[in-house]
Amino acid sequence: MPGVKDSPHREDIEAEIGALAFDRLAALGHKPAAQRIQAEQEIAGPAAWARVLTEAQTGEISTGAWTDLYRADPEGYQEARAGEIPGLGGEVRRFDISAAREVEASAGFQGIR
């Protein structure tokens, strides 16, 4: 495909073409492809949520992260977007700090260091 080689989005384009080819192989009954797709689908939801939450910690959530979440968990995507609040990233960071402090306090209480 002309233009792909020099595109700044080359890796994304190649990944999308590869995914489409793999989907087609699975649809044609290629067992290893079908097994891989099934395995990917099983982890897609947790992976998408992890990406959204990680990006929320560092700032703005990318379109790619929202797309992954929509594909993996459409209901969760709708709920997350409906409840999207400016400053969510800051809230997630505060929660992370609080959780880390609780783990440290718990470890100290149990004599673990």
CA angle, 62 as apex, 90 and 97 as ends, to 5°? 25
Please write the tens of the pLDDT for every residue from 74-112: 998 888 887 765 655 566 666 667 777 777 777 665 555
Mean pLDDT of 23-42: 90
* CB-CB contact of 52 with 66 (8 Å): yes
Task: Give the pLDDT score at 35.
Answer: 92
d(CA 87, CA 94): 11
Task: Give the pLDDT score at 93.
Answer: 60
- Provide, rounded to the nearest whole percent, the portion of the chain with pLDDT above 70: 81
Q: Quote the mean pLDDT of the chain.
A: 81
Crossing angle, helix 31-58 and helix 63-72, to 10 degrees? 130
| The two three-digit tokens of residue 52, written as one number | 């959204």
Mean pLDDT of 22-39: 91
